[in-house]
A = this chain, B = another copy of it.
Amino acid sequence: MEETFLEAVKEKMRQKGYKITGPRLAIIRYLTREKGHPDIQEIFEDIRVEKPGIGMATVYRTVSLLLELGILRAITLRGHHLRYELNWPDHHHHHLVCNRCGQVTEFGNCNFQLMSGEIEQVTRFKIEEHALEAYGLCPQCLSARLDYSTENI
């Protein structure tokens, strides 16, 4: 899976005339390993461990390139700075964020197509994509809060 994806990425870069360089490969490999939602600073710091000489500008440039190629996906949670994740094929999902500890979980149960038809009828738009984020309390913070309210009785 990872290898096939990496080859597809390289092929896409070659087709568009971009060079496959050391820094770019390191960043792509890192992103295929990393399963979370790192921001640009985290990407920079993690890459620096294996490639100490890399510059922040290169990380910015590579992330922009991967976004342009559709390899990377950017998400915003509560309007905070951007976080990134690989755009694996056939993996439609959204994010659930804990309001207390910030933990991010993914969920795939998306029924958006049930409302999109009606929205298209009402607005006359043709819908192409959508973004959805849910906010609440994760299981850990939920039980912590329950304990707290019990204390207060």
Chain A positions within 8 Å of B, measured between CB atoms, are 74-76, 79, 82, 96, 98-99, 105, 107, 109-112, 114-116, 118-119, 122-139, 142
| Bound complex: CA A138 to CA B124 (Å) | 7
Q: Would you give 10 A-B contacts (Cβ < 8 Å), ordered by A?
A: A74-B79, A76-B76, A76-B79, A99-B128, A114-B114, A119-B134, A124-B142, A125-B139, A127-B134, A131-B131
Question: Can you tell how many copies of this chain the complex includes?
Answer: 2
Checking B96, B118, B124, B139 against A109 with a beta-carbon cut-off of 8 angstroms, the contacting residue is: B118
Given contact pairs A76-B79, A96-B127, A132-B132, A122 touches B137 in the complex (Cβ within 8 A): no
In the complex the two chains form, is B124's CB within 8 Å of A115's CB? no
Given contact pairs A74-B79, A131-B132, A133-B131, A125 touches B98 in the complex (Cβ within 8 A): yes
In the complex the two chains form, is A142's CB within 8 Å of B122's CB? no
A123–chain B nearest beta-carbon distance, Å: 5
Given contact pairs A76-B79, A134-B116, A105 touches B123 in the complex (Cβ within 8 A): yes
A139: which B residues are within 8 A, CB to CB?
A: 124-125
In the complex the two chains form, is B136's CB within 8 Å of A127's CB? yes
| Bound complex: CA A124 to CA B142 (Å) | 9
Given contact pairs A79-B74, A119-B109, A137 touches B132 in the complex (Cβ within 8 A): no
